[in-house]
Each structure stands twice: as C-alpha cells, then as structure tokens.
Amino acid sequence: MFKAWLSLFIFFAVAATVGAAPGAVRCAHLLDVRSGEIRDDQTIVFAADGTITTVGSTQTAVVPAGITPVILTGTCLPGLIDVHTHLTDDPQDSGYQGLAVSVPSEAIKGVKNARRTLNAGFTTVRNVGAGDFTDVALRDAVNDGSVDGPRMLVSGPPLGITGGHCDDNLLPYQYHHVSEGVADGPWAARAKVRENVKYGVDLIKVCASGGVLSKGDQPGTPQYTLEELQAITEEAHKLGRKVAAHAHGTQSIKDGIRAGIDSIEHSSLIDDEGIALAKAHGTYLVFDIYNDDFILQQGAKSGMLPESIEKEKKLGQMQRESFRRAWQAGAKIAFGTDAGVYPHGDNAKQFATMVQWGMPAIDAIRCATLNAADLMGWAGKVGVLEPGAYADIIAVDGKSPLSDVTVLQSVGFVMKGGTVVKSNLPAPH
C-alpha cells in the first residue's frame, strides 16, 4: 500500500508542473461545511479541468477506470479563503522601512507570499491593496501557471483622500509625494475607479476611515464622505466590480453600508445601528481580529510606528468585542486577516481567536469557505467540496478541526484545481 501511495504522490507531483489530470482523492474523513457533519471514508472524483464530478461514500463512488485515488489519512475539507490579504507586503515593510521597497521588490515578495499562503491551505484570496498594480501582475502569473499561488481577486491601489490612511504621509512636503490611489471629490474618485478597472482590477478597495498603520490619522475618524462613497460604489458596480471599504470608525462603517459597499473591512467600532444596517443591506463584515496579537507583541520589532502600536492598544479589544456582538446578532461575516501585517502563512491562527470570542468552530470555518466564496462572487466554485466546484482540497492530520480548530494551522495536504501542491500527511497503512 505504501508503494502505491508513493507512486501516486510522485504522479501528482509531476502533474503539478504540467497541469491537472483526471483523478480522485479518498479521505478517511471529510467535513461537509454546509451540514457541519464529518463523514467517514469519502471519495472525491474530479475531471481533467480540475472540477469535482462526484463526492460520496467510497463504497458507492464510481472512480473512472485507470485512476487510482490518492489516499489521505486525515480530515479533508475545502481549500480555505482569506478575503483580506496583502500578498505583496511583509510586516518588516511597516513604517519608514516601507519607503525602501521598490516596485520590483514588492512584486517579488508577492511571489514568495503567494506560495506560502497556498501551502498553508488557503487556495483562494482577495488582495485588497497593492502598489503599482503588482497584485494584478501576481494574479495573472498565478493564472497562467508561472507562479504557485492561490486563486486571486485583486484591487490594485486603494482609493483614499489626500493625507488619509491610503495616502503616504511619511515624507515631508518638499517631496510632494502622493500615493497613486488618492482621489478627492466624487468625480475624481469615479475617475480613479475607472483607471483601476482599466489596469485590470477585480474589485475596488477604498479607505473610508483612518487607520492603525498610517501616520497622522485616527482609526475612528471619517475620511471619505457619504457622497464620495456613493460615487465610488455606483461607478464600481456599473463596471461590474464589488467594493471593499477599510472602515474602523462608527460613522464610516454606516456611511459605507448606506452607500451600498459590499464588505466592510476591520469593522472595529461598529455599533448596534451599524450591525442592523449591515443585516438589512446584506453587507459582509470582515474582522481581522488575530493580528492585534502580532502588532502588540512584534510590531515594534517589525518597524511599526510607535503611534500605530498605541492606536492598536486602544482598538484591538474593542474590535474583538464588536466581532462577538456582530456574530451574536446574526450579521454576515467573512474570514479576512490583513495578512501582510503579520507573516504570510499564519492566516489560520485567526480561527482560534474567532472561537475564543464566541464563534463555534464550524461557523468560523464557514466564514472562510461558504461566506467568503459568496462575498467573492464564487459561490459553488470554491469553499465547498461538491460537484461543479474546483477540486481545491486540504487535509489535516490528528484531531477534527471541529474539536480543535488549531489543527488548521498545520495543513498537511493541499490540492488546487486537481493538482497536488503539498503532501506531508502520514502515509496510509
């Protein structure tokens, strides 16, 4: 049996370099994220295009002739989704150190971090903010097979006001430096949306309030006005793009929801009215509640500004309390971590924080599968192991992720679109 398993591993390792082939995976256990049930001895069959054709009991599954399933000893579940990443950023690029990062360097970092993210079991991401359209280039390289990485939707440069969170306020006046996404006023903001779409973005990222890691502003302060947010959203939706709004502040959150924005990122100071608005409008809330730990423990070593660490000290616990209230009230929540603030590949550490703050493990996993896929507009294609979905399959050894969600921090098997990316699970006996 071990020789058969080893030969299958070699076959799929070769297939990973030449494209997907028809195949099958046999799972000792499989988590059905819709029902929340773990089913034993399940087989997933997929076609040459990397999409699943059947999922069911191994005893009844029909595996096409000539295909020997990959046998996995652990628990299988869909590839995970993170809807708030910055693949072209690293933690050590914070503060003034970021001024030394060139555009080519940013692109190279993206290649490294895309691979790390995929190997961690995150087979799909949204990248919400990157300089000079480096995330567009990274997405295209992943899509054409030049680079190993997750499926990506990308925003390019985020839109923001002069001197706001998405401007660069580190240099003095004589440099006259303005970030490429800065646009003031409704018509200038509309023009910036059009420019980003021209250069290939999948969605629009907008900075509605102040932020933590920026210089000279406060997270709770509104930046874009309701009128500007409405113009951005109308323009983006007209062009077939969703909008993600960075919004810590109470008023900015509500303005973003009223403007029709599709997801509120961070959501730190949301109040009960904001939660009710989100539910009424069907707006997704995204809470990056793990990285507070990293910022407070490692931020100074990473070069984060002292004022940023002080802002996080005031904000982190309130954001976690907001997360708990939003969950208890039944708001729609998608899994997003702000990867790049902390090291890429540690995305799954957030699951434990979500459980600690009141969310059952299955619902935390649903935030990173069903909910995230819905927000991205890819429901039924990612985030599930069902016919018609991509064969994006991960597996963990040991305990069930429902009893110990921390096992998702050690994904042993990763398949994307029917191609094995990583296989470190114990061999079957």
- Active-site position among 338, 349, 416, 422: 338
- Active-site position among 192, 205, 311, 422: 205
Q: E-strand spans in 96-229?
A: 122-127, 151-154, 203-207
The fraction of the chain above a pLDDT of 90, given in percent, is 90
Q: What is the pLDDT of residue 2?
A: 31
Q: Between β-strands 70-78 and 23-32, what pairing exists: parallel, antiparallel or unpaired?
A: parallel
Residue (of 217, 216, 238, 234) closest to 226 by Cα position: 234
DSSP 327-366: HHHT--EE----BTSS-TT-TTHHHHHHHHTT--HHHHHH
Active site residue 313: no
Summarize the confidence of residues 402-415 as an average pLDDT: 97
Active site residue 254: no
Residue 25 backbone phi and psi in degrees, to 5: -130, 130
* CATH 2.30.40.10 domain locations along the chain: 2-77+381-423
Q: What is the pLDDT of residue 39?
A: 97
Summarize the confidence of residues 415-423 as an average pLDDT: 97
DSSP letter, residue 369:
I
How high is the mean pLDDT of the chain? 93
Q: What is the pLDDT of residue 20?
A: 62
Q: Model confidence at 429, in pLDDT bands (50, 70, 90)?
A: low
Distance CA 358, CA 391 (A): 31
Is domain 2-77+381-423 given the CATH code 3.40.50.1820 in the classification? no
Q: Helix 226-238 vs helix 250-258: angle between axes, to the nearest 10 degrees? A: 40
Q: What is the pLDDT of residue 425?
A: 85
Residue (of 63, 67, 115) closest to 87 by Cα position: 115
80-347 maps to which CATH number?
Answer: 3.20.20.140
* CATH 3.20.20.140 domain locations along the chain: 80-347
